[in-house]
Structure 1
Amino acid sequence: MTAVISKPRGENIVRLNSVSWTTFNRLLNELGNKRNQRLTYYDNVLEIMSPLGVHENNNRFIESLIFVIADELGLNLKKFGSLTLKSNQFQQAVEPDSCYYLQNEPKVRNKQQIDLTNDPPPDLVLEIDITGGSLHKLPIYANLGVPEIWRYDGEKLTVFILKKDINNYQEVDKSLAFPFLNLSVIPELIEQSLIDGETAVLRGFRNSFKNSL
């Protein structure tokens, strides 16, 4: 008999149908920012995702890797976490696990609130998707104009780049923000961090990255 090893559950997800845009915005205001849930609203469906340990651990570790890369390259990085990104025009909203300004960082450097009617969208969005189900968010991100999405499913990191001519995402082998980065190394570093510890692995990554410049 062959043992089947399943991936740990990374998220608890609840979906509510027939939710109006007005009701969603009222709920958003009532819940406020001090919560752990991520909300997604699309086509009158409200999704409420509560991240579990494996989800948040991967999210924070990948964020640390992104910071190391930006720091070693001398790039200003502005982090907005699970910022609510919404469009009244399309009546859609999404809250990524993490999002970052790099190229457009100078345009939002002095801001701690983002209004997508005036401000550019984040340059990079990170979605952790252990349990499955984040791909339906791509049309929302496309309508918001997010140029790049990283999706980690617990085994593989996939990068999507927005093709503006078709307003859709294409899976690519190289990051737009960090085109020189070997993406396959990120899942390897995550696994290694469970053995050697996060700080030790980040330190080693910083040293090897610095030597490769």
Structure 2
Amino acid sequence: MSDRRLRLTYNRGNLEMMAPSTGHEFSKTLIGRFVETLAEESTVPIYPLGSTTFKRPQLSGAEPDECFYIDNIEAVRGKKRLDLNEDPAPDLVIEIDVTSSSQNRLQVYADLGVAEVWVYNGESLVIQQLQNGSYITSPTSQFFINIPISEIAIFLQQAGQTDYLELVKAFRNWVRSQLKK
């Protein structure tokens, strides 16, 4: 048996299990780092909670690849456990869709009330925003308004040929140039 951690998604009676690959883990780590860089350069406060399990008993639950609280930081800061019957869902979730579809997870995130989901499929980064209980594709992030988020995929595609920290530096410089526009 592999020592890789299983990711679970539960949606109205259906249980999905996935063992993330190294490519999946690298992409989620890099996008998470990019979100942190965006937040630093844009001075947007974030509270990262990684792949914390979020659930509403009897309905649905999921473990995002990465997640961040942005608008709701004060409601969860310092808590050891979150109860989505009382606490808000993360504001931003990152999903890597390289080997398996995140379509079922999008419904779970909608049920949980996640405001925005970024889905990376290995080629493009798509922003999904929650409106009236379902997700619509958006060209911009509600949290990083002045940044063309879809262009992040260009940096992600360089990951195989570029040193990790050099790529983060290049991304930081790009963010700074976008914020000056």
Answer yes or no: same fold by TM over 0.5. yes
* Residues 148 and 190 of structure 1: CA distance in aligned 2, closer, same or farther (over 3 Å): same
Residue 148 in structure 1 maps to residue 111 in structure 2: no
Which residue is equivalent to 1:23?
Answer: none
Which residue is equivalent to 2:40?
Answer: 71
Which residue is equivalent to 1:181?
Answer: 147
Deviations 1:106-128 (A, max 9, x none): 22122232111111110000110
Check whether the contact 1:127–1:150 (CA below 8 A) recurs between aligned residues: yes
User: What is the TM-score with the length of structure 1 in the denominator?
Assistant: 0.78
Q: What's the C-alpha RMSD, in Å, of the aligned pairs?
A: 1.7
* Structure of greater Rg: 1
Residue 103 in structure 1 maps to residue 76 in structure 2: no
Structure 1, gaps ≥5 residues long? 1-33
Counterpart amino acid of residue 173 in structure 2: N
The number of aligned residues is: 177
Aligned-residue offset at 1:35: 6.8
Check whether the contact 1:78–1:105 (CA below 8 A) recurs between aligned residues: yes
Identity of paired residues, percent? 36
Check whether the contact 1:132–1:153 (CA below 8 A) recurs between aligned residues: no
User: What is the TM-score with the length of structure 2 in the denominator?
Assistant: 0.91
Which residue is equivalent to 1:86?
Answer: 55
Aligned-residue offset at 1:82: 1.1
Distance 1:193 1:143 in 2: 33
Deviations 1:46-80 (A, max 9, x none): 11111001100000000010000111122221111
Aligned-residue offset at 1:43: 2.8
Q: Which residue among 102, 110, 114 is the counterpart of 2:82?
A: 114
Structure 2, gaps ≥5 residues long? none
Deviations 1:73-103 (A, max 9, x none): 2222111111111112x52111111110011
Q: Which residue among 135, 138, 144 is the counterpart of 1:169?
A: 135
